[in-house]
């Protein structure tokens, strides 16, 4: 009898996992979700998003059963995909201390030193890995004839803020100290990344200004990055409720990453966690008047600041740290930043961060190459080498990155 009960329980769980979860995801997302008309291949994007949601749902089920954390399960599935090989690129797995890295080097010999690219992958410090970003780094290496270093920093749930920055800084410094062994020109080192990796790239540039003994960073590539955690009412925040990064998703994992109690979510969204003097201090850089009018044409309404909830401020003030909000760095530092390549996507919750960063740098005289993707969405670059998930905007972003690197 006990054996039958265990069999029945196992079959029931399998049914929930493989039948119930897919049906729930389908009816929750596929039917009600509306993909903006401006995105090419909308049905393909919707199918991609439902698959993405299903993997996360399975991960949450396993987490609730204390079998495996959601983040580890998602990374495990992502990493099952085979890695593409290219005869023109040599890929080497190394460790800088305890930090795993992948080095991508063109196979053909070169009489001169090459450009070196430090790439920090995206994934919200929850997902993403050296394997899932293999295709991006392989393409960057081959097409720009550069040496690429991809950094496998530690992630949630085991490691939270500020581990991503300490890991990336340690690996970055190690690479900068050993450029000659990789055949990299010290005058042509580029840092770059997408999503949270783009934010890391900006922070690395700012922090390395304090280390004049290291090679100077030549340029930064900032791909649809999140660069501040104060304002969640910008035009893009109000307009974009499209797949992959929504307001709810962003706040949920941001608060988990920073160990902020979820009860303060509403105060963070409305801005009630920020004192008026802080809002006023940073308005010159974060104010919506700094965003071009064409990005405010649909679904945007300027909202008055709510009364301060001082308890919320005390509990969430960590978002003011420059690692989390590098857009708040003072002009004295920002004016020393290297030339920038900035990508913004029209259908991205973080779109306005790119626009504000672009204006900030340009106002300080920093050269900026801006690439705005009218049909782009957050995470578009990550599917560049998946044939059945091909989106034209992915290839355009990669081409723009390669062209920028080539002309440095």
| Marked catalytic residue, from 348, 352, 375, 385 | 348
Q: What is the pLDDT of residue 69?
A: 87
> Rounded distance, CA 241 to CA 225, Å?
17
Q: Domain segments of the chain: what residues?
A: 14-78, 86-408
Cβ–Cβ < 8 Å for 153, 164? yes
| Marked catalytic residue, from 129, 144, 195, 394 | 195
Q: In b/e form, how buried is each residue of 156-191, taking b as 16+ CB within 10 angstroms?
A: beeeebbbbbebbbbbbbbbbeebeebebbeebbbb
| Marked catalytic residue, from 121, 134, 353, 378 | 378
Residue 184 pairs in a beta bridge with 114
CA 369 centroid distance within chain = 19
> Rounded distance, CA 389 to CA 41, Å?
9
Look at the domain 86-408 and name its fold.
Rossmann fold (3.40.50)
Q: What is the pLDDT of residue 175?
A: 98
In three-state form (DSSP H/G/I as H, E/B as E, the rest C), the secondary structure along the chain is: CHHHHHHHHHHHHHHHHHHHHHHHHHHHHHCCCCCCCCCCCHHHHHHHHHHHHHHHHHHHHHHHCCCCCHHHHHHHHHCCCCCCCCCCEEEEEEEECCEEEEEEEECCCCCCCEEEEEEECCCCCCCCCCCCCHHHHHHHHHHHCCEEEEECCCCCCCCCCCHHHHHHHHHHHHHHHCHHHHCEEEEEEEEEEECHHHHHHHHHHHHHCCCCCCCCCCEEEEECCCCCCCCCCCHHHHHCCCCCCCHHHHHHHHHHHCCCCHHHHHHHHHCCCCCHHHHHHHHHHHCHHHCCHHHHCCCCCCCCCCCCCHHHHHHHHHHHCCCCCHHHCCHHHHCCCCEEEEEEEEECCCHHHHHHHHHHHHHCCCCEEEEEEEEEECCHHHHCCCHHHCCHHHHHHHHHHHHHHHCC
Q: What is the pLDDT of residue 3?
A: 45
348 is catalytic: yes
The predicted model scores a pTM of 0.93
From the list 355, 239, 346, the residue with the least C-alpha distance to 298 is 239
pLDDT tens series, the chain, 408 aa? 444 444 444 444 545 455 555 655 565 655 556 777 788 888 888 888 878 888 888 888 888 888 888 888 888 888 888 888 999 999 999 999 999 999 999 999 888 999 999 999 999 898 899 999 999 999 999 999 999 999 999 999 999 999 999 999 999 999 999 999 999 999 999 999 999 999 999 999 999 999 999 999 999 999 999 999 999 999 999 886 666 788 888 898 899 999 999 999 999 999 999 999 999 999 999 999 999 999 998 888 888 889 999 999 999 999 999 999 999 999 999 999 999 999 999 999 999 999 999 999 999 999 999 999 999 999 999 889 887 788 899 999 999 999 999 999
195 is catalytic: yes
């Amino acid at each position: 009898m006990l054996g039958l009960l265990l069999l029945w329980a196992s079959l029931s769980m399998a049914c929930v996992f493989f039948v119930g979860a897919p049906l729930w995801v389908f009816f929750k997302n596929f039917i009600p979700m509306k993909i903006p008309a401006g995105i090419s291949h909308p049905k393909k994007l919707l199918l991609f998003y439902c698959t993405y949601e299903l993997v996360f749902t399975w991960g949450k089920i396993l987490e609730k059963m204390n079998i495996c954390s959601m983040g580890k399960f998602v990374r495990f599935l992502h990493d099952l995909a085979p890695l593409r090989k290219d005869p023109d690129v040599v890929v080497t797995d190394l460790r800088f201390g305890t930090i795993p890295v992948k080095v991508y080097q063109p196979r053909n010999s070169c009489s001169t030193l090459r450009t070196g690219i430090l790439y920090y992958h995206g994934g919200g410090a929850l997902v993403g890995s050296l394997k899932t970003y293999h295709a991006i780094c392989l393409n960057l290496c081959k097409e720009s004839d550069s040496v690429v270093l991809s950094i496998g920093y530690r992630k949630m749930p085991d490691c939270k803020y500020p581990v991503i920055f300490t890991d990336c800084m340690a690996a970055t410094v190690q690479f900068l100290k050993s450029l000659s062994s990789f055949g990299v020109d010290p005058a042509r080192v580029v840092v770059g990344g997408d999503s949270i990796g783009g934010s890391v790239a900006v922070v690395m540039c700012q922090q390395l200004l304090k280390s004049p003994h290291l090679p100077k960073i030549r340029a930064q590539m900032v791909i649809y990055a999140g660069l501040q955690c104060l304002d969640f009412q910008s035009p893009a925040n109000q307009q974009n409720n499209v797949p992959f990064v929504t307001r709810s998703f962003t706040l949920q994992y941001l608060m988990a990453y920073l160990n902020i109690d979820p009860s303060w979510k509403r105060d963070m969204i409305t801005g009630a966690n920020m004192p008026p003097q802080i809002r006023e201090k940073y308005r010159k850089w974060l104010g919506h008047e700094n965003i071009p009018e064409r990005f405010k044409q649909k679904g945007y309404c300027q909202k008055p600041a709510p009364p301060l909830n001082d308890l919320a401020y005390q509990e969430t003030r960590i978002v003011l740290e420059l690692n989390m909000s590098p857009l708040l760095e003072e002009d004295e530092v920002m004016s020393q930043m290297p030339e920038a390549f900035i990508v913004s996507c029209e259908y991205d919750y973080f779109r306005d961060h790119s626009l504000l960063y672009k204006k900030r740098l340009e106002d300080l005289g920093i050269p900026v190459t801006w690439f705005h993707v009218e049909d782009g969405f957050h995470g578009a670059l990550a599917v560049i080498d998946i044939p059945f998930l091909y989106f034209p905007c992915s290839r355009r972003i990669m081409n723009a990155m390669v062209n920028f690197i080539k002309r440095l």
